[in-house]
Amino acid sequence: MNNIFSLPNILPSPEVSEIFEAIVQTENLTIERIISNGQTSPKDFWYEQEKAEWVVLLQGKATLEYESGRLLELQKGDYVLIPPLEKHRVIYTSQEPPCIWLAIHFQQKKK
């Protein structure tokens, strides 16, 4: 048994990668916990994932930026669905408290 809110004794500094922990992983579904401690996406980097991503911020504050320039400021409890191939990146994550995310990546049925 694990607790989604338990943090490691030492968190990575902002210059080091976030912590990604797979909770469930299958061919069509990944559920992961992400711990961010001031990390952001590299300057000219955009996520452009093949699968849809539903993500909820369980702790902390964060800001997502979309290629269109739209900014989305997230606080504890906020969630968002990011469609497949939508370019986005993380431009801010809090350190006090660190961010705890729950992300679900899945194949979205085509309409």
- Position 30, amino acid: T
Residue 90 maps to which CATH number?
2.60.120.10
Establish if 49 belongs to a structural domain: yes
Establish if 42 belongs to a structural domain: yes
Task: Give the count of domains, the chain.
Answer: 1
φ/ψ of 13, rounded to 5, equals -70, 165
Instruction: Yes or no: say if 34 and 90 are a contact pair by the CB < 8 Å rule.
Output: no
**pTM of the entire structure?**
0.92
d(CA 61, CA 30): 23
Segment 26-54, tens digit of pLDDT: 999 999 999 999 999 998 999 999 999 99
Give the range of the structural domain holding residue 42, as residue numbers without chain letter.
Answer: 19-106
Establish if 13 belongs to a structural domain: no
Question: How much of the chain, in percent, has pLDDT values that exceed 90?
Answer: 90
What is the per-residue pLDDT for 1? Answer: 87
What is the per-residue pLDDT for 111? Answer: 63
Query: Which of the residues in the chain have pLDDT under 70?
Result: 110-111
